[in-house]
Amino acid sequence: MKKAFIYSLFFSTLTSLLLYNGAEYIALSWIQDPRAIRPLKILSCSLPFVGMGACFHGYFYGMRKVIKSISTDIIEVSTLMIIIASFLGIYLPKGLDYTCALISVGITLALSSSAVVCYILYIFDKRHLKKYGYNRNADCSLWGISKIAFPIACSAYIQTGLKTVEDILIPDALRKFGSSTSMSLSIFGMIKGMVLPILYFPSIFLASFSTLIIPEISEAKALNQTKRVNNIIAKVFKFTLLIAIFASGLFMIFSTELGLHIYNDLEVGFMMRILAPLIPFMYLDRVVDGSLNALDQQMSTLRYNLIDMAVRIFLICFLIPKKGIVGFIIVLFTGTLLNSMLSINRLLKVTKLDFLLGDWVLKPAFCVTISSYAIKLTFDMFNITNMIVFQIILVVVFYLSLLFIIGCIKKKDIMWFLDAFKNDVKSEKITDLGITKRF
- Residues 182-239 have pLDDT tens digits of 666 677 778 887 888 889 888 876 766 677 777 778 778 878 888 888 888 888 888 8
Distance CA 158, CA 302 (A): 8
Let me know if 237 is exposed, middle or buried by CB neighbors in 10 A (0-12, 13-18, 19+).
buried
Say which DSSP state 140 is in: -
pLDDT > 70: percent of the chain = 85
Let me know if 260 is exposed, middle or buried by CB neighbors in 10 A (0-12, 13-18, 19+).
middle
pLDDT band at 425 (very low <50, low <70, confident <90, very high): very low
Is 256 within 8 Å of 266 (Cβ atoms)? yes
What is the chain's Cα-based Rg? Answer: 24
Which residues neighbour 133 within 8 Å (Cβ) at sequence distance 6 or greater?
Answer: none
pLDDT of residue 227: 86
Domain ranges of the chain: 1-140
Give the rounded distance of the alpha carbon of 245 from its chain centre: 17
Is 52 within 8 Å of 15 (Cβ atoms)? no
Extract long-range pairs of 315-322: CB within 8 Å, 24+ residues apart. 316/166, 316/169, 316/170, 316/173, 317/169, 317/173, 320/170, 320/173, 320/174, 320/176, 320/177, 321/173, 321/176, 321/177, 322/177
Is 199 within 8 Å of 276 (Cβ atoms)? yes
Instruction: Over range 31-35, report the average pLDDT.
Output: 77
Least confident of 75-89, 105-119, 136-150, 235-249: 136-150
Q: Is the pLDDT of residue 131 over 70?
A: no
How many residues are recorded in the chain? 439
Residue 428's CB: how many other CB atoms inside 10 A? 8
pLDDT band at 383 (very low <50, low <70, confident <90, very high): confident
pLDDT of residue 428: 39
pLDDT band at 331 (very low <50, low <70, confident <90, very high): very high
Indicate if the alpha-carbon torsion angle 295, 297, 301, 307 is positive or negative.
negative
3-state secondary structure of 254: coil
pLDDT tens-digit map of 371-380: 999 999 999 8
Which residues neighbour 282 within 8 Å (Cβ) at sequence distance 6 or greater?
Answer: 199, 200, 203, 244, 336, 340
pLDDT of residue 401: 93
- Taking the whole predicted model, whether its pTM rises above 0.85 is answered as no
Let me know if 178 is exposed, middle or buried by CB neighbors in 10 A (0-12, 13-18, 19+).
exposed
Say which DSSP state 32 is in: -
Terminal alpha carbon distance of the chain: 19
pLDDT tens-digit map of 297-322: 878 888 888 888 889 889 999 998 88
